[in-house]
Amino acid sequence: MFHIGKLDHQLNEDIRDKEIRVIGADGEQLGIMAPAAALKLAEEKELDLVKIAPKATPPVCRIMDYGKFRFEQLKKEKEARKNQHVVEIKEVRMSPNIDTNDFNVKLKSAVKFLQGGNRVKVTVRFRGREMAHTSLGEELLVKFGEGCADVGTVEKAPKLDGRHMMMFLSPKTAK
């Protein structure tokens, strides 16, 4: 039994059903027959008999060049993997008493991350007496979210978690 991705196929002599529905190499229905007769037809054309729908009644088999079919499947899977984009979570850290220029630099980097299609986690860390003024951190995060509004949306609003206040931004879908 061969495995292609998540599909497994029975080939030639491995097909042990009493009767099978056979589809020819060019896609025409050859009818219901015994596996031995279908295998003989496949061998005459120098092709393989492959069970493509084992759950059907009777099971559906096709006469095809299995090596070529396997190659095509692997090629498609490789192409699909190449085209997919893994979304990463980038983090931007700040303190509640950040200066305006530092804030703008952090904002620019977050905008760049969002334009790259990544999610951004914005964190404000409170130290010592800063814990008494968590509202400053929340205002800072809201202002940060407004600054990123043209390229991203606030996925999770600012939330205090211990000594850190976090907010998540996700990129706007370009459609």
User: Is the N-terminal amide bond of 54 cis, ω within 30° of 0?
Assistant: no
In the chain the domains, ranked by start, together with CATH numbers, are 2-82 (3.10.20.80), 89-171 (3.30.110.10)
Distance set, CA 146 to CA 18, 24, 45, 143 (Å): 68, 62, 67, 5
Q: What is the mean pLDDT of the chain?
A: 86
pLDDT for 2 beyond 60: no
Q: Is 11 exposed, middle or buried (0-12, 13-18, 19+ CB in 10 A)?
A: middle
Instruction: Tell me which amino acid residue 100 is.
Output: T
Q: How far does Cα 26 stand from its chain's mean position?
A: 34
pLDDT for 129 beyond 50: yes
**pTM for the full predicted model:** 0.53
- pLDDT tens across 47-73, in order? 888 888 888 888 899 899 888 888 888
Of all residues in the chain, the percent with pLDDT exceeding 90 is: 26
